[in-house]
Amino acid sequence: MAVSADIYTERDQFSKPVAVSIGLHVALFGSILLYATVMGRFRGEDWGGTGGGGGAMSATLVSSIPLPASPESTNILANESKGVSQSLPKAEEVPEPTAVPIPAPDAKKLDRTTRSTRQDRKPAQPVQTATNVIPFGQGGPISGPYGTFSAGGAKGGFGFNGGGGDFGSRYGWYVDVVRRKVSENWLKYEVDPNIRDARRVYITFEISRAGQPRNITIEQSSGVPSLDQSAVRALQRIDTFGPLPGDYHGSSVNVEFWFDYRR
């Protein structure tokens, strides 16, 4: 009996280490899982735009550096000078000079014939440069980060209303400043990336004598909240447009500004 009792006590002694061992294993796997998820979260961030790591330089930055957009922005080779490959215009084939016979006594007749052949020849065509050719030089202007928007084809202008004011006709340059500055401060990336095209959003605001925008309101929503919000933020981001022209007597100017969004 005593022997069997010994066996029972030995079994009892085993169960504890087994439980401890199972517990430790569970803890180990748990910590591995935890480590993977936590570290995965830290490592998974996409630094510096597309592809992170060794990918191509990201040049789709949208910014409000107060500089106007670069006119050419499709060229990814970032350098100030114009291009890499020299694409010389195609050399025009020089037609063989037609043998003009030595003028004979009946020279008038011959003249007529040569004139007619000249008219048959096509007029010199201007050299067409293909759109996909990189211009000669070393690269072209840096693309980005200043491509604020490219709402190509959008039409617009400015008009005036109320009070018979002639602000726009007298101070066209100030209207240009307003347009340029709002455009520079509109960050397109704030708009929901799923939106491809949206209706025009109209914002109205007032420019104080000192040039600060105030009373910013959405006059007509585009139906896309993120687009409306980005338009309002563009104006909120602006500290000043510069003081109103000195010889303008009004205390403020109302502006209606529209934003066309197209991805």
**Residue 232 C-beta: closest distance to other proteins, Å:** 14
Question: Which residue among 76, 144, 232, 233 contacts other proteins (CB under 8 A)?
Answer: 144
Give the pairing of strands 213-220 and 201-208. antiparallel
Stretch that binds other proteins, among 17-25, 104-112, 129-137, 244-252 (CB under 8 A): 244-252
Interface with other proteins by CB under 8 A: which range of 18-26, 29-37, 72-80, 128-136?
A: 72-80
Q: Check binding of 230 to other proteins (CB under 8 A).
A: no
| Contact of 77 with 140, CB cutoff 8 Å | yes
- DSSP conformation class of 207: E
Q: Is the dihedral of CA 226, 232, 234, 239 positive or negative?
A: negative
Nearer to other proteins, 110 or 147 (CB): 147
The reply to whether 191 sits near other proteins by the rule CB under 8 A is: no
Per CB under 8 A, the list member of 27, 38, 65, 133 interacting with other proteins is 65
Please state the closest distance from residue 218 (CB atom) to other proteins, in A.
Answer: 14
CB of 137 to other proteins, least distance (A): 13
Distance separating alpha carbons of residues 201 and 231, to the nearest angstrom: 8
Q: Does 241 bind other proteins (CB under 8 A)?
A: yes
Residue 12 vs 45, nearer CB to other proteins: 45
> Which H helix or E strand runs over 201?
strand 201-208
User: Nearest-CA neighbor of 203 among 168, 185, 61, 172?
Assistant: 185
Query: Rule CB under 8 A: is residue 137 a binding residue for other proteins?
Result: no
Residue 67, interface with other proteins (CB under 8 A)? yes
Contact call for residues 130 and 90 (beta carbons, < 8 A): no
Shortest spacing between CB 179 and other proteins, in angstroms: 5
What's the min distance (Å) between Cβ of 38 and other proteins? 16
Asked if 195 and 263 count as a contact pair (C-beta separation under 8 A), the reply is yes
Kindly state the helix (H) or strand (E) to which residue 128 belongs, with its residue range.
Answer: none
Is-contact 134 84, C-beta < 8 A? yes
Residue 47 touches other proteins, criterion: CB under 8 A: yes
User: Using an 8 Å Cβ cutoff, are 97 and 168 in contact?
Assistant: no
Classify burial at 143, counting beta carbons within 10 Å of its beta carbon; exposed 0-12, middle 13-18, buried 19 or more: buried
Asked if residue 123 binds other proteins (CB under 8 A), the reply is no
Binding-site string for other proteins from residue 81 to residue 120, where x marks contact by CB under 8 A and - marks none = ----------------------------------------
